[in-house]
Amino acid sequence: MKTILLAEDDPFLVDIYITKLKEAGFEVEAVNDGEDVVKRLKQKNLQGKPLWPDLLILDIVLPRTDGWEILKKIKEDSFLKELKIIILSNLGQKAEVERGFELGATRYLIKAHYTPSEVVEEIKKIIG
């Protein structure tokens, strides 16, 4: 089963996306704080192997550590830099979208332009 880490601080959106993603057959974990995203991505199992997900859905506006900083930390990490990342944000200016791709995002989705079902379809295109 493919695993997804959802970094979103809006509880309403977290509930919607967890429901939709689980219905689509994904295992989902949500974190609502930027610092917790980085901690979660660095977790290892008992054998010392990384436990990162198949995909990170990342909001840019998060408490304590924003999505831009998270992207920089992922890009600097030799193991995490291969992680597939979908930015799902209300920030939709051209410069912000370009910045997201420069920092390693696989896709950049503007929340207002995609329904949760459409987001799930985009995820399926990326990780099956």
**Around Cβ 41, how many Cβ atoms within 10 Å?**
22
pLDDT by residue (tens digit) across 59-114?
999 999 999 999 999 999 888 888 999 999 999 999 999 999 999 999 999 999 99
pLDDT by residue (tens digit) across 21-46?
999 999 999 999 999 998 898 887 67
CA atoms of 21 and 28, how far apart (whole Å): 7
- Rounded to two decimals, what is the model's pTM? 0.94
Tokens, residue 108: 């950049």
Domains of the chain listed by start with CATH number = 3-127 (3.40.50.2300)
Say how many CA atoms lie within 13 Å of 38 toward its Cβ.
18
